[in-house]
Amino acid sequence: MSAAIEQRNQDATVYVGNLDEKVTDELIWELFLQCGPVSNVHLPKDKVTGLHQAYGFVEFRYEHDSDYAMKIMNMIKLYGKTIKVNKASQNVKMLDIGANIFIGNLDESVDEKLLYDTFSAFGGITNTPKVMRDPETGVSKAFGFVNFDSFEASDLAIQCMNGQFLANKQIVVQYAYKKESQGERHGSQAERLLAA
Highest mean pLDDT among 1-10, 17-26, 39-48: 17-26
SS3 155: helix
CA 73, chain centre distance (Å) = 11
Q: Which residues pair with 170 in a beta bridge?
A: 165
Q: How many CA atoms lie within 13 A of 161 on its CB side?
A: 27
Summarize pLDDT for 46-58 with one digit per residue, the tens: 888 888 888 899 9
pLDDT of the residue at 93: 45
The more confident residue out of 187 and 67 is 67
Summarize pLDDT for 60-87 with one digit per residue, the tens: 999 999 989 998 999 899 998 889 898 8
Report the candidate in 56, 42, 37 with the shortest Cα–Cα distance to residue 2.
Answer: 42
pLDDT of the residue at 4: 47
CB of 128 closer than 8 Å to CB of 166: no
The more confident residue out of 93 and 105 is 105
Judged against a pLDDT cut of 50, whether residue 91 lies above it is answered with no
Host H or E run for residue 170:
strand 169-170
CA distances in angstroms from 107 to 76, 134, 187, listed in the order given: 20, 14, 26
Question: Model pTM greater than 0.75?
Answer: no
